[in-house]
């Protein structure tokens, strides 16, 4: 009887030791992965952003901090810091890191700003804005994407609000906005968005037909929008609730 008890005790001790070892190895692997990601992120900032024309220190710092790999589907995580867009499901994409940084930089983000984003997608652009601005409002038309983005955003930020709906209409309840970032492309500037931009505020938006658009910055001055062209880009189209292109 005594030796049977001893056997059970011995077995339990071995199981505990093995479980502790497995846990320690697992945590270490996770820590190594996180370290790898942070190295990849640093390389992304240096070679894709600072080496080009991203000069705003706060934007570079936000891009250095936000773990982009958490916003892409698991099977693409290893590519999260590469110099191109990636699929996020539902036929949509997360923009190339450089485009996210450029669109953020051209609206001159600062800590007192209230910003509206149209096209939440993965939630990554909203996360970058949340690091730099006081309040972020973001609208996504595809429910599953909006819900997924909201889940991750609310885990890390308390200054982001996500709405499922048609961003063409903006979010009048919280207007006017100091800046508006549109990450899907209409063929013309939506009038509701123009109206919801504060005097002196900036909107960055890709405008044009599917496959080829011009990224423009619109600055509101004396109630009028003054346009500056940035670069040619390729974004997914802005659509209404029936999937028709605007």
Q: Known catalytic residues?
A: 95
Distance of CA 69 to the CA centre of its chain: 11
183 touches ligand SAH (CB under 6 A): yes
Least distance (Å) between residue 238 CB and ligand SAH: 4
d(CA 51, CA 15): 52
Among 37, 81, 98, 124, binds ligand SAH (CB under 6 A): 124
239 touches ligand SAH (CB under 6 A): yes
Strands 197-207 and 135-140: unpaired
d(CA 30, CA 155): 19
Give the range of 31-39, 45-53, 62-70, 166-174 binding ligand SAH by CB under 6 A: 166-174
Map residue 8 onto helix, strand or coil: helix
Least distance (Å) between residue 186 CB and ligand SAH: 8
* Residue closest to ligand SAH, measured at CB: 121
Sign, CA dihedral 33-34-38-41, equals: positive
119 touches ligand SAH (CB under 6 A): yes
167 touches ligand SAH (CB under 6 A): yes
Among 168, 196, 206, 220, binds ligand SAH (CB under 6 A): 168
Give the range of 5-13, 59-67, 139-147, 216-224 binding ligand SAH by CB under 6 A: 139-147
d(CA 74, CA 60): 25
196 touches ligand SAH (CB under 6 A): no
Strand partners, 206: 215
Contact of 232 with 213, CB cutoff 8 Å? yes
Secondary structure element (H or E) that encloses residue 219, with its range: strand 213-221
Instruction: Please report, to the nearest 10 degrees, the dihedral formed by the alpha carbons of residues 99, 104, 108, 113 taken in order.
Output: 170
213 touches ligand SAH (CB under 6 A): no
For the chain, state the CA radius of gyration: 22
Between 31 and 147, CB nearer to ligand SAH:
147
In the window 77-96, what residues touch ligand SAH (CB under 6 A)?
A: 92-95
Query: Using CB under 6 A as the criterion, which residues of the chain lie in contact with ligand SAH when the complex forms?
Result: 92-95, 118-119, 121-122, 124-125, 139-142, 145, 166-168, 183-184, 236, 238-239
């Amino acid at each position: 009887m005594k030796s049977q008890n001893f056997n059970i005790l011995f077995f339990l001790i071995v199981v505990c030791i093995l479980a502790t070892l497995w846990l320690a190895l697992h945590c270490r692997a996770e820590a190594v992965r996180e370290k790898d990601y942070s190295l990849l992120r640093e390389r992304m900032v240096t070679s894709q952003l600072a080496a080009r024309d991203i000069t705003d220190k706060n934007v570079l710092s936000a891009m250095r901090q936000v773990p982009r790999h958490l916003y892409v589907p698991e099977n693409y995580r290893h590519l999260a810091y590469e110099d191109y867009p990636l699929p996020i499901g539902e036929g949509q994409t997360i923009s190339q890191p450089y485009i996210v940084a450029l669109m953020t930089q051209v609206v001159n983000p600062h800590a007192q700003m209230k910003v509206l984003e149209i096209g939440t997608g993965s939630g990554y652009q909203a996360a970058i804005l949340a690091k730099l601005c006081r309040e972020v409002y973001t609208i996504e038309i595809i429910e599953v994407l909006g819900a997924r983005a909201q889940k991750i955003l609310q885990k890390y930020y308390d200054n982001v609000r996500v709405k499922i709906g048609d961003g063409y209409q903006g979010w009048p309840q919280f207007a006017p906005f100091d800046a508006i970032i549109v990450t899907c492309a209409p063929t013309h500037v939506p009038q509701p968005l123009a109206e919801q931009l504060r005097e002196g505020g900036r909107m960055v938006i890709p405008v044009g037909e599917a496959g080829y658009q011009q990224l423009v910055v619109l600055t509101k001055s004396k109630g009028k929008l003054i346009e500056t062209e940035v670069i040619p880009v390729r974004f997914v189209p802005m659509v209404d609730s029936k999937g028709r292109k605007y």
